[in-house]
Amino acid sequence: MHDALLSIDIPTVFIGKLPNQAVDSLRVDDESACYEMGKYLAERGHRRVAQITGPNFFSEAMDRARGLRNGLLDSGSAADDILEWEGTFLAPSGIEGVDWLLEKHKQDMPTALFFGNHLMTLGGIARLFDHGVQVPEDLAVAVYGDQPQMNYIRPHLTRAGVQPALQANLATKMLLERLNGTYSGPPRTKVLTGSLQKMDSA
Protein backbone atom coordinates (compact mmCIF):
# COMPACT_ATOMS: atom_id res chain seq x y z
CA MET A 1 0.00 0.00 0.00
CA HIS A 2 2.73 2.48 0.95
CA ASP A 3 4.57 1.87 -2.31
CA ALA A 4 1.65 3.41 -4.22
CA LEU A 5 2.76 6.76 -2.81
CA LEU A 6 6.08 6.51 -4.66
CA SER A 7 4.40 7.47 -7.93
CA ILE A 8 2.10 10.20 -6.59
CA ASP A 9 2.71 13.56 -8.28
CA ILE A 10 0.75 15.98 -6.10
CA PRO A 11 1.71 17.45 -2.70
CA THR A 12 0.79 14.88 -0.07
CA VAL A 13 1.16 14.45 3.67
CA PHE A 14 0.72 10.98 5.13
CA ILE A 15 -0.42 10.78 8.76
CA GLY A 16 1.05 7.69 10.43
CA LYS A 17 4.16 5.55 10.01
CA LEU A 18 5.50 5.66 6.45
CA PRO A 19 8.42 3.23 6.12
CA ASN A 20 9.42 4.19 2.57
CA GLN A 21 9.39 7.98 3.12
CA ALA A 22 7.76 8.44 -0.28
CA VAL A 23 6.05 11.71 0.73
CA ASP A 24 5.97 14.03 3.70
CA SER A 25 4.66 12.26 6.77
CA LEU A 26 3.65 12.98 10.33
CA ARG A 27 3.46 10.44 13.12
CA VAL A 28 3.14 10.26 16.88
CA ASP A 29 5.75 8.56 19.04
CA ASP A 30 3.22 6.18 20.59
CA GLU A 31 5.82 4.04 22.29
CA SER A 32 7.42 6.79 24.35
CA ALA A 33 4.03 8.16 25.44
CA CYS A 34 2.95 4.72 26.66
CA TYR A 35 6.32 4.14 28.30
CA GLU A 36 5.69 7.25 30.40
CA MET A 37 2.23 5.91 31.21
CA GLY A 38 3.74 2.64 32.41
CA LYS A 39 6.17 4.51 34.64
CA TYR A 40 3.37 6.69 35.98
CA LEU A 41 1.15 3.73 36.86
CA ALA A 42 4.05 2.05 38.63
CA GLU A 43 4.80 5.23 40.57
CA ARG A 44 1.17 5.21 41.69
CA GLY A 45 1.74 1.78 43.18
CA HIS A 46 0.32 -0.34 40.35
CA ARG A 47 2.53 -3.36 39.77
CA ARG A 48 -0.07 -5.79 38.39
CA VAL A 49 -1.54 -4.12 35.33
CA ALA A 50 -3.70 -5.36 32.44
CA GLN A 51 -3.76 -3.85 29.00
CA ILE A 52 -6.22 -4.33 26.17
CA THR A 53 -4.12 -3.80 23.07
CA GLY A 54 -4.98 -3.16 19.47
CA PRO A 55 -4.49 -5.88 16.82
CA ASN A 56 -0.93 -7.10 16.33
CA PHE A 57 -0.90 -6.27 12.60
CA PHE A 58 -1.01 -2.55 13.44
CA SER A 59 2.47 -1.34 14.27
CA GLU A 60 1.01 1.52 16.32
CA ALA A 61 -0.84 -0.98 18.52
CA MET A 62 2.33 -2.93 19.18
CA ASP A 63 4.30 0.27 19.85
CA ARG A 64 1.77 1.24 22.51
CA ALA A 65 1.74 -2.22 24.10
CA ARG A 66 5.53 -2.41 24.11
CA GLY A 67 5.88 1.08 25.55
CA LEU A 68 3.51 0.42 28.45
CA ARG A 69 5.10 -2.97 29.16
CA ASN A 70 8.64 -1.57 29.19
CA GLY A 71 7.63 1.37 31.36
CA LEU A 72 6.21 -1.04 33.91
CA LEU A 73 9.15 -3.44 33.74
CA ASP A 74 11.69 -0.66 34.13
CA SER A 75 9.76 0.56 37.17
CA GLY A 76 9.75 -2.75 39.01
CA SER A 77 6.82 -4.78 37.67
CA ALA A 78 7.36 -8.48 37.01
CA ALA A 79 6.64 -9.76 33.51
CA ASP A 80 4.03 -12.19 34.86
CA ASP A 81 2.11 -9.29 36.41
CA ILE A 82 1.53 -7.60 33.05
CA LEU A 83 -1.62 -9.11 31.56
CA GLU A 84 -2.48 -8.59 27.90
CA TRP A 85 -5.54 -9.21 25.78
CA GLU A 86 -5.56 -8.42 22.05
CA GLY A 87 -8.48 -6.30 20.92
CA THR A 88 -9.49 -4.85 17.57
CA PHE A 89 -9.37 -1.08 18.28
CA LEU A 90 -13.20 -1.15 18.10
CA ALA A 91 -15.59 -0.57 21.02
CA PRO A 92 -16.95 -4.16 21.23
CA SER A 93 -13.48 -5.51 21.94
CA GLY A 94 -13.27 -3.18 24.94
CA ILE A 95 -16.34 -4.98 26.25
CA GLU A 96 -14.86 -8.39 25.45
CA GLY A 97 -11.54 -7.46 27.03
CA VAL A 98 -13.21 -6.45 30.29
CA ASP A 99 -15.21 -9.70 30.29
CA TRP A 100 -11.96 -11.65 29.77
CA LEU A 101 -10.29 -9.82 32.63
CA LEU A 102 -13.11 -10.30 35.10
CA GLU A 103 -13.67 -13.94 34.19
CA LYS A 104 -10.10 -15.18 33.90
CA HIS A 105 -8.40 -13.08 36.57
CA LYS A 106 -11.16 -12.47 39.11
CA GLN A 107 -9.17 -14.33 41.78
CA ASP A 108 -6.06 -12.20 41.23
CA MET A 109 -7.18 -8.93 39.70
CA PRO A 110 -4.77 -6.24 38.59
CA THR A 111 -5.06 -2.83 40.19
CA ALA A 112 -4.98 -0.94 36.87
CA LEU A 113 -6.29 -1.43 33.33
CA PHE A 114 -4.95 0.30 30.21
CA PHE A 115 -6.90 0.56 26.96
CA GLY A 116 -4.90 0.88 23.75
CA ASN A 117 -7.25 3.37 22.11
CA HIS A 118 -10.29 5.54 22.81
CA LEU A 119 -12.90 3.35 21.10
CA MET A 120 -12.07 0.28 23.17
CA THR A 121 -12.20 2.56 26.21
CA LEU A 122 -15.80 3.53 25.44
CA GLY A 123 -16.89 -0.11 25.38
CA GLY A 124 -14.72 -1.10 28.32
CA ILE A 125 -15.81 1.69 30.65
CA ALA A 126 -19.45 0.84 29.98
CA ARG A 127 -18.77 -2.83 30.69
CA LEU A 128 -17.00 -2.07 33.96
CA PHE A 129 -20.09 -0.12 35.01
CA ASP A 130 -22.30 -3.06 34.04
CA HIS A 131 -20.23 -5.33 36.29
CA GLY A 132 -20.40 -2.87 39.18
CA VAL A 133 -16.67 -2.11 39.05
CA GLN A 134 -16.00 1.42 40.28
CA VAL A 135 -13.25 3.51 38.72
CA PRO A 136 -10.80 4.23 40.29
CA GLU A 137 -11.88 2.79 43.66
CA ASP A 138 -11.93 -0.83 42.46
CA LEU A 139 -9.79 -0.53 39.36
CA ALA A 140 -7.69 2.34 38.03
CA VAL A 141 -8.15 3.00 34.30
CA ALA A 142 -5.86 4.71 31.82
CA VAL A 143 -6.08 5.04 28.06
CA TYR A 144 -4.15 5.93 24.94
CA GLY A 145 -6.08 8.59 23.07
CA ASP A 146 -6.75 12.29 23.50
CA GLN A 147 -9.88 12.56 21.36
CA PRO A 148 -12.36 15.28 22.39
CA GLN A 149 -15.03 12.74 23.37
CA MET A 150 -12.77 11.54 26.20
CA ASN A 151 -13.69 14.77 28.02
CA TYR A 152 -17.29 13.56 28.43
CA ILE A 153 -16.42 10.39 30.36
CA ARG A 154 -16.51 10.36 34.15
CA PRO A 155 -14.32 10.06 36.03
CA HIS A 156 -11.94 12.10 33.88
CA LEU A 157 -9.61 9.62 32.24
CA THR A 158 -5.87 9.58 32.72
CA ARG A 159 -4.55 9.40 29.19
CA ALA A 160 -1.58 9.64 26.85
CA GLY A 161 -1.42 10.78 23.27
CA VAL A 162 -1.81 13.76 20.95
CA GLN A 163 -4.99 15.62 20.15
CA PRO A 164 -6.10 14.86 16.56
CA ALA A 165 -6.55 18.58 15.92
CA LEU A 166 -2.86 19.15 16.60
CA GLN A 167 -1.92 16.45 14.11
CA ALA A 168 -4.28 17.91 11.51
CA ASN A 169 -2.95 21.44 11.99
CA LEU A 170 0.67 20.37 11.57
CA ALA A 171 -0.13 18.19 8.55
CA THR A 172 -1.97 21.11 6.94
CA LYS A 173 1.00 23.38 7.60
CA MET A 174 3.34 20.90 5.94
CA LEU A 175 1.01 20.62 2.95
CA LEU A 176 0.72 24.40 2.57
CA GLU A 177 4.50 24.72 2.60
CA ARG A 178 4.58 22.43 -0.41
CA LEU A 179 1.76 24.22 -2.19
CA ASN A 180 3.12 27.73 -1.74
CA GLY A 181 6.69 26.74 -2.49
CA THR A 182 8.25 27.62 0.85
CA TYR A 183 9.55 24.05 1.03
CA SER A 184 10.55 21.97 -1.99
CA GLY A 185 13.11 19.60 -0.53
CA PRO A 186 13.05 15.83 0.00
CA PRO A 187 10.20 14.16 1.89
CA ARG A 188 10.14 15.05 5.58
CA THR A 189 9.16 12.91 8.54
CA LYS A 190 7.94 14.82 11.57
CA VAL A 191 7.36 13.10 14.91
CA LEU A 192 5.06 14.39 17.62
CA THR A 193 5.63 13.44 21.23
CA GLY A 194 2.50 12.37 23.08
CA SER A 195 1.72 13.99 26.39
CA LEU A 196 0.60 12.33 29.62
CA GLN A 197 -2.49 13.82 31.28
CA LYS A 198 -2.92 12.78 34.89
CA MET A 199 -6.63 12.78 35.63
CA ASP A 200 -9.04 11.19 38.12
CA SER A 201 -9.20 7.60 36.86
CA ALA A 202 -5.66 6.49 37.69
Amino acid 153: pLDDT: 93
Handedness of CA 134, 136, 137, 139 (dihedral sign): positive
Per-run averaged pLDDT (10 residues), the chain, 202 residues:
71 88 91 97 97 95 97 96 98 98 95 98 97 97 94 95 93 95 93 94 96
Rounded Cα distance, 79 and 77, in Å: 6
| Residue-level pLDDT at 20 | 84
Q: What is the pLDDT of residue 101?
A: 97
Domains and CATH numbers, the chain: 2-28+164-196 (no CATH), 31-160 (3.40.50.2300)
Q: How far apart are CA 173 and CA 169, in angstroms?
A: 6
| pLDDT at position 58 | 92
**What pTM, to 2 d.p., does this model score?**
0.92
